[in-house]
Amino acid sequence: MKVLRSPDELMAYRAGLSGAVGFVPTMGALHKGHLALVKHAKRNQGKVIASIFVNPTQFNDPLDLQSYPRCESADRELLEAAEVDALFMPTAAQMYADGSRYQVAETSQSVDLCGADRPGHFTGVLTVVLKLLNLVRPTHLYLGEKDYQQYQLIKGLVNAFFLNIEVIAVPTVREQDGLAMSSRNRRLSAIDRKTAPKFFQILSSNLSDEVVIKQLIQQGFTVDYVKTIDGRRFGAVQLGTSGRGVRLIDNVRIEP
Protein backbone atom coordinates (compact mmCIF):
# COMPACT_ATOMS: atom_id res chain seq x y z
CA MET A 1 0.00 0.00 0.00
CA LYS A 2 1.38 3.37 -1.01
CA VAL A 3 1.08 6.13 1.59
CA LEU A 4 0.66 9.53 -0.05
CA ARG A 5 1.26 12.53 2.19
CA SER A 6 0.54 15.47 -0.11
CA PRO A 7 -1.86 16.48 -2.88
CA ASP A 8 1.05 16.51 -5.34
CA GLU A 9 1.96 12.91 -4.46
CA LEU A 10 -1.66 11.84 -4.87
CA MET A 11 -2.06 13.55 -8.24
CA ALA A 12 1.18 11.99 -9.52
CA TYR A 13 0.02 8.54 -8.36
CA ARG A 14 -3.44 9.00 -9.90
CA ALA A 15 -1.94 10.02 -13.23
CA GLY A 16 -0.44 6.55 -13.51
CA LEU A 17 -3.74 4.73 -13.07
CA SER A 18 -6.18 3.68 -15.75
CA GLY A 19 -9.58 2.08 -15.56
CA ALA A 20 -11.99 2.09 -12.63
CA VAL A 21 -10.88 3.57 -9.30
CA GLY A 22 -12.88 3.24 -6.09
CA PHE A 23 -12.54 5.84 -3.32
CA VAL A 24 -13.27 5.46 0.40
CA PRO A 25 -12.91 8.74 2.34
CA THR A 26 -12.57 8.45 6.14
CA MET A 27 -11.53 10.41 9.20
CA GLY A 28 -9.65 7.44 10.63
CA ALA A 29 -10.28 5.51 13.86
CA LEU A 30 -11.35 2.74 11.52
CA HIS A 31 -13.79 -0.07 12.33
CA LYS A 32 -15.66 -2.82 10.48
CA GLY A 33 -17.98 -0.28 8.92
CA HIS A 34 -15.10 1.39 7.10
CA LEU A 35 -13.70 -1.99 6.08
CA ALA A 36 -17.09 -2.92 4.60
CA LEU A 37 -16.74 0.08 2.28
CA VAL A 38 -13.30 -1.14 1.23
CA LYS A 39 -14.63 -4.66 0.58
CA HIS A 40 -17.35 -3.30 -1.70
CA ALA A 41 -14.78 -1.19 -3.53
CA LYS A 42 -12.39 -4.13 -3.95
CA ARG A 43 -15.21 -6.28 -5.28
CA ASN A 44 -16.14 -3.84 -8.02
CA GLN A 45 -12.95 -1.97 -8.93
CA GLY A 46 -9.35 -2.79 -9.76
CA LYS A 47 -7.77 -0.02 -7.70
CA VAL A 48 -8.93 1.38 -4.37
CA ILE A 49 -7.77 4.63 -2.78
CA ALA A 50 -8.68 5.49 0.81
CA SER A 51 -8.09 8.71 2.67
CA ILE A 52 -7.68 9.58 6.35
CA PHE A 53 -8.20 13.23 7.18
CA VAL A 54 -9.79 14.65 10.33
CA ASN A 55 -11.40 17.62 8.64
CA PRO A 56 -11.35 20.62 11.02
CA THR A 57 -13.93 22.67 9.11
CA GLN A 58 -16.79 20.26 9.84
CA PHE A 59 -16.40 20.54 13.62
CA ASN A 60 -18.39 23.38 15.15
CA ASP A 61 -17.08 22.43 18.62
CA PRO A 62 -13.27 22.75 19.07
CA LEU A 63 -13.35 20.28 21.97
CA ASP A 64 -15.05 17.69 19.74
CA LEU A 65 -12.26 18.11 17.19
CA GLN A 66 -9.62 17.82 19.88
CA SER A 67 -11.11 14.63 21.34
CA TYR A 68 -11.74 12.89 18.01
CA PRO A 69 -9.81 9.58 18.14
CA ARG A 70 -6.65 9.31 16.03
CA CYS A 71 -5.08 5.89 15.43
CA GLU A 72 -2.78 6.29 12.44
CA SER A 73 -0.62 3.21 12.94
CA ALA A 74 -3.55 0.85 13.56
CA ASP A 75 -5.54 2.38 10.70
CA ARG A 76 -2.71 1.86 8.25
CA GLU A 77 -2.40 -1.78 9.25
CA LEU A 78 -6.13 -2.37 8.76
CA LEU A 79 -6.18 -0.76 5.33
CA GLU A 80 -3.10 -2.61 4.19
CA ALA A 81 -4.61 -5.90 5.34
CA ALA A 82 -7.76 -5.01 3.39
CA GLU A 83 -5.59 -4.62 0.27
CA VAL A 84 -6.13 -0.91 -0.27
CA ASP A 85 -3.79 0.23 -3.05
CA ALA A 86 -3.07 3.75 -1.80
CA LEU A 87 -3.76 5.80 1.32
CA PHE A 88 -3.92 9.59 1.19
CA MET A 89 -3.08 11.33 4.49
CA PRO A 90 -2.76 15.11 4.01
CA THR A 91 -2.45 17.88 6.58
CA ALA A 92 -5.01 20.62 7.19
CA ALA A 93 -2.56 23.21 5.88
CA GLN A 94 -2.32 21.31 2.60
CA MET A 95 -6.06 20.87 2.20
CA TYR A 96 -6.84 24.46 3.14
CA ALA A 97 -3.96 26.41 1.66
CA ASP A 98 -6.55 29.09 0.77
CA GLY A 99 -7.41 29.58 4.46
CA SER A 100 -10.95 28.28 3.79
CA ARG A 101 -11.84 31.34 1.72
CA TYR A 102 -13.56 29.09 -0.83
CA GLN A 103 -16.37 26.90 0.45
CA VAL A 104 -19.20 24.75 -0.91
CA ALA A 105 -22.61 25.33 0.66
CA GLU A 106 -25.93 23.56 0.17
CA THR A 107 -28.92 25.71 1.04
CA SER A 108 -31.83 23.32 1.67
CA GLN A 109 -31.31 19.81 2.98
CA SER A 110 -28.13 20.69 4.89
CA VAL A 111 -29.93 23.02 7.31
CA ASP A 112 -32.18 20.26 8.69
CA LEU A 113 -31.39 17.36 11.06
CA CYS A 114 -27.65 17.40 11.84
CA GLY A 115 -27.34 20.69 9.99
CA ALA A 116 -29.73 22.41 12.38
CA ASP A 117 -27.74 21.30 15.42
CA ARG A 118 -24.30 21.82 13.89
CA PRO A 119 -24.16 25.10 11.94
CA GLY A 120 -21.57 24.99 9.18
CA HIS A 121 -20.99 21.25 9.55
CA PHE A 122 -22.12 20.24 6.10
CA THR A 123 -20.40 23.18 4.44
CA GLY A 124 -17.18 21.77 5.88
CA VAL A 125 -18.07 18.25 4.74
CA LEU A 126 -19.03 19.21 1.19
CA THR A 127 -16.02 21.49 0.78
CA VAL A 128 -13.48 18.85 1.77
CA VAL A 129 -15.26 16.12 -0.20
CA LEU A 130 -15.15 18.19 -3.38
CA LYS A 131 -11.43 18.81 -2.82
CA LEU A 132 -10.83 15.08 -2.31
CA LEU A 133 -12.87 14.10 -5.36
CA ASN A 134 -10.95 16.56 -7.52
CA LEU A 135 -7.67 15.06 -6.32
CA VAL A 136 -8.60 11.36 -6.44
CA ARG A 137 -10.84 11.56 -9.53
CA PRO A 138 -12.55 8.25 -8.68
CA THR A 139 -15.02 6.46 -10.90
CA HIS A 140 -16.86 5.13 -7.83
CA LEU A 141 -17.34 6.66 -4.37
CA TYR A 142 -18.34 4.49 -1.39
CA LEU A 143 -20.26 5.97 1.56
CA GLY A 144 -21.95 4.37 4.57
CA GLU A 145 -25.69 4.60 5.14
CA LYS A 146 -25.20 5.39 8.82
CA ASP A 147 -24.52 8.98 7.78
CA TYR A 148 -27.49 8.94 5.41
CA GLN A 149 -28.02 12.69 5.32
CA GLN A 150 -24.35 13.12 4.46
CA TYR A 151 -24.68 10.47 1.74
CA GLN A 152 -27.65 12.30 0.21
CA LEU A 153 -25.83 15.64 0.26
CA ILE A 154 -22.65 14.25 -1.29
CA LYS A 155 -24.63 12.48 -3.99
CA GLY A 156 -26.37 15.78 -4.66
CA LEU A 157 -23.00 17.52 -4.83
CA VAL A 158 -21.75 15.03 -7.42
CA ASN A 159 -24.86 15.57 -9.54
CA ALA A 160 -24.91 19.36 -9.17
CA PHE A 161 -21.30 19.77 -10.29
CA PHE A 162 -21.57 17.19 -13.11
CA LEU A 163 -18.92 14.91 -11.65
CA ASN A 164 -18.68 11.63 -13.52
CA ILE A 165 -18.72 9.50 -10.36
CA GLU A 166 -21.06 6.73 -9.27
CA VAL A 167 -21.96 7.20 -5.59
CA ILE A 168 -22.64 3.89 -3.85
CA ALA A 169 -24.33 3.58 -0.45
CA VAL A 170 -23.21 0.66 1.72
CA PRO A 171 -25.60 -0.60 4.46
CA THR A 172 -24.83 0.31 8.07
CA VAL A 173 -22.64 -2.21 9.88
CA ARG A 174 -23.82 -2.87 13.43
CA GLU A 175 -22.56 -4.51 16.58
CA GLN A 176 -24.35 -7.69 17.65
CA ASP A 177 -26.56 -5.64 19.97
CA GLY A 178 -27.62 -3.33 17.12
CA LEU A 179 -25.48 -0.27 17.88
CA ALA A 180 -24.28 1.29 14.63
CA MET A 181 -20.50 1.10 14.40
CA SER A 182 -18.88 4.51 14.79
CA SER A 183 -15.48 5.88 15.68
CA ARG A 184 -17.16 7.80 18.50
CA ASN A 185 -18.33 4.58 20.19
CA ARG A 186 -14.89 4.07 21.70
CA ARG A 187 -15.48 7.21 23.77
CA LEU A 188 -18.47 5.65 25.55
CA SER A 189 -17.99 4.64 29.16
CA ALA A 190 -18.70 1.01 30.11
CA ILE A 191 -22.08 2.04 31.57
CA ASP A 192 -23.04 4.12 28.53
CA ARG A 193 -22.00 1.34 26.16
CA LYS A 194 -24.67 -0.89 27.75
CA THR A 195 -27.29 1.81 27.27
CA ALA A 196 -26.30 2.83 23.74
CA PRO A 197 -28.00 -0.07 21.84
CA LYS A 198 -31.39 1.11 23.12
CA PHE A 199 -31.04 4.04 20.71
CA PHE A 200 -31.36 1.76 17.68
CA GLN A 201 -33.98 -0.45 19.35
CA ILE A 202 -36.30 2.46 20.14
CA LEU A 203 -35.61 4.28 16.86
CA SER A 204 -36.61 1.13 14.94
CA SER A 205 -40.03 0.83 16.57
CA ASN A 206 -43.25 1.71 14.78
CA LEU A 207 -44.08 4.29 17.42
CA SER A 208 -44.51 7.94 16.50
CA ASP A 209 -41.50 10.26 16.53
CA GLU A 210 -42.89 12.01 19.61
CA VAL A 211 -43.21 8.75 21.57
CA VAL A 212 -39.74 7.65 20.46
CA ILE A 213 -38.31 10.90 21.82
CA LYS A 214 -40.03 10.37 25.16
CA GLN A 215 -38.76 6.80 25.46
CA LEU A 216 -35.18 7.82 24.61
CA ILE A 217 -35.27 10.51 27.28
CA GLN A 218 -36.57 7.96 29.78
CA GLN A 219 -33.55 5.75 29.00
CA GLY A 220 -31.12 8.59 29.75
CA PHE A 221 -30.45 9.99 26.27
CA THR A 222 -30.38 13.68 25.49
CA VAL A 223 -32.27 13.93 22.20
CA ASP A 224 -31.07 16.34 19.53
CA TYR A 225 -33.74 15.24 17.07
CA VAL A 226 -35.91 12.36 15.88
CA LYS A 227 -37.60 12.94 12.55
CA THR A 228 -39.14 10.69 9.89
CA ILE A 229 -38.73 11.82 6.28
CA ASP A 230 -39.97 9.82 3.29
CA GLY A 231 -40.16 6.55 5.22
CA ARG A 232 -36.75 6.89 6.89
CA ARG A 233 -36.42 7.86 10.54
CA PHE A 234 -33.38 9.92 11.47
CA GLY A 235 -32.14 10.37 15.01
CA ALA A 236 -29.32 12.02 16.92
CA VAL A 237 -28.77 11.72 20.66
CA GLN A 238 -26.10 12.38 23.23
CA LEU A 239 -25.16 9.96 25.95
CA GLY A 240 -22.81 10.51 28.84
CA THR A 241 -22.91 9.60 32.50
CA SER A 242 -19.66 11.43 33.20
CA GLY A 243 -17.94 14.31 31.47
CA ARG A 244 -18.94 15.37 27.95
CA GLY A 245 -21.67 13.44 26.19
CA VAL A 246 -20.95 11.28 23.15
CA ARG A 247 -23.08 12.13 20.13
CA LEU A 248 -24.65 9.15 18.34
CA ILE A 249 -26.56 9.28 15.06
CA ASP A 250 -28.54 6.58 13.27
CA ASN A 251 -31.32 6.10 10.75
CA VAL A 252 -33.71 3.29 9.91
CA ARG A 253 -36.38 2.51 7.35
CA ILE A 254 -39.85 2.64 8.90
CA GLU A 255 -42.51 0.44 7.35
CA PRO A 256 -45.96 2.06 6.92
pLDDT in tens, 15-65: 999 999 999 999 999 999 999 999 999 998 789 999 999 999 999 888 888
- The CATH code for residues 2-170 is 3.40.50.620
Say if residues 200 and 215 touch (Cβ distance below 8 Å). Answer: no
Distance CA 114, CA 126 (A): 14
Question: What CATH class does 183-250 carry?
Answer: alpha beta
Q: What is the edge-to-edge ordering of all strands in the sheet holding 166-170?
A: 2-4, 86-88, 47-52, 21-26, 140-144, 166-170
What is the 3-state composition of the chain as percent helix, strand, coil, each rounded to the nearest 5? 45, 20, 35
Q: What are the pLDDT digits (tens) for 151-176?
A: 999 999 999 999 999 999 999 999 99
Domain ranges of the chain: 2-170, 183-250
Mean pLDDT over each residue of the chain, to the nearest integer? 95
Nearest to 129 by CA among 163, 99, 179: 163
What percent of the chain has a predicted confidence (pLDDT) above 90?
A: 90
Fold equal for 2-170 and 183-250: no
Active site residues: 34
State the burial class of residue 256 (Cβ atoms within 10 Å of its Cβ: 0-12, 13-18, 19+): exposed
| Radius of gyration (C-alpha) of the chain in whole angstroms | 18
Distance spanning both ends of the chain, measured CA to CA: 47
